Amino acid sequence: MGKIKPMLARLEAKPWNNPEWIWETKYDGVRAIVDTKTGIIQSRSGKDKTANFPEIKPRTVKPAILDGEIVAYANGKTDFNTIQHRGTSSDIQFRMSEYPAQYEVFDVLDVDGTNVTGYPLSDRKKLLAALLVPDQWVHLAAYSQDGEALFASAVANKLEGVIGKKLNQSYRQDAREWVKVKLSQVDNLFVCGYTQGTGWRAPTFGALVVGKLQGTSMIHVGEVGTGFNDRDIDEIYTELRLTINNQCPFGTNPYTNGNQPTWVIPAMEIVVRYLEYTNDGKLRFPAFKGVVR
């Protein structure tokens, strides 16, 4: 299996009901392409994550390449922070025990050497249902044509949202032709520095100074100081200290609540949940969700 770039979704304000569309629950996990012949698990970025998830071994009646989401469940719903603890293969037996993973499969790209990405989604769904042998760790993702009802259920259960897909649509790598409707906004942002912690966090950091790329320029969008657990803080701080360069990556030094940041090379990417961007381009009510691995 060569590097595959998964098909993506663009943001929409609300779902709709149309017989030409289906809707799936938006899982809060790690996108994964799996080759059932070789057992290789590939992340959205193309990295080999097979060693991170040894329990994920999908069975199919014929060799296939599957698309889906590796998730961890907490209190009946997928939890991104939990699955992020599976971001390394070290102490794998402990991590498997503490943070068990499951694979929600929603698409098939190849069947026994035949590329089926040109097939309409309706046909791929039928193929997938006939191919996949579900078990304790691998599930066939459910879907509905009632997007409005599924989204209402997502709201009631405080889930991530829903994904909409057109039934006659082929699978196009890296194309944003699916749609997603979310309960809140989520962005992948670069950690550009950190401020000094106070109180019990004085030995580490108080907030992460984050930015996003616009062309070749890094733009400051705010600071993220909530959403971390103790392990997150220790792991992030340890990693960031290795990339300190004391050079602000923005055009000018931003105001960071009066605290002078320690600048780092913008190599770490994190997932941030937020309500919206303010008129001056800053995050409103941001919270850390996890590190992109």
From the list 26, 100, 117, 10, the residue with the least C-alpha distance to 66 is: 117
193/207 Cα distance (integer angstroms): 9
256/220 Cα distance (integer angstroms): 10
Residue 258 is predicted with a pLDDT of 67
Place of tokens 């609540």: 257
Token pair belonging to 107: 């698409």
Residue 56, SS3? coil
Annotate 15-43 with b (16+ C-beta within 10 A) or e (fewer). beeeeebbbbbbbbbbbbbbbbeeeebbb
pTM for the structure as a whole = 0.68
From the list 45, 287, 90, the residue with the least C-alpha distance to 187 is: 287
Is 113 in contact with 133 (CB distance < 8 Å)? no
Is 188 in contact with 19 (CB distance < 8 Å)? no
Give the pLDDT confidence of 218-277 residue by residue, as tens digits: 999 999 999 998 899 999 999 999 999 989 999 888 888 767 899 999 999 999 988 778
Amino acid in the structure at residue 174: D
Residue 123 is predicted with a pLDDT of 98
Give the pLDDT confidence of 233-245 residue by residue, as tens digits: 999 999 999 999 9
Q: Where are the domains of the chain?
A: 8-182, 185-291
Which CATH number applies to 185-291?
A: 2.40.50.140
Domain spanning 8-182: which superfamily?
A: DNA ligase/mRNA capping enzyme (3.30.470.30)
Characterise 129 by phi-psi region: left (phi > 0), alpha (psi -120 to 50), beta (else): alpha
Give the pLDDT confidence of 88-135 residue by residue, as tens digits: 878 899 999 999 999 999 999 999 999 999 999 999 999 999 999 999
275/264 Cα distance (integer angstroms): 26
Task: Check pLDDT > 80 for residue 293.
Answer: no
From the list 106, 147, 154, the residue with the least C-alpha distance to 21 is: 147
Residue 85 is predicted with a pLDDT of 83
Measured over the CA atoms of residue 188, residue 169, residue 143 and residue 109, the dihedral's sign is: negative
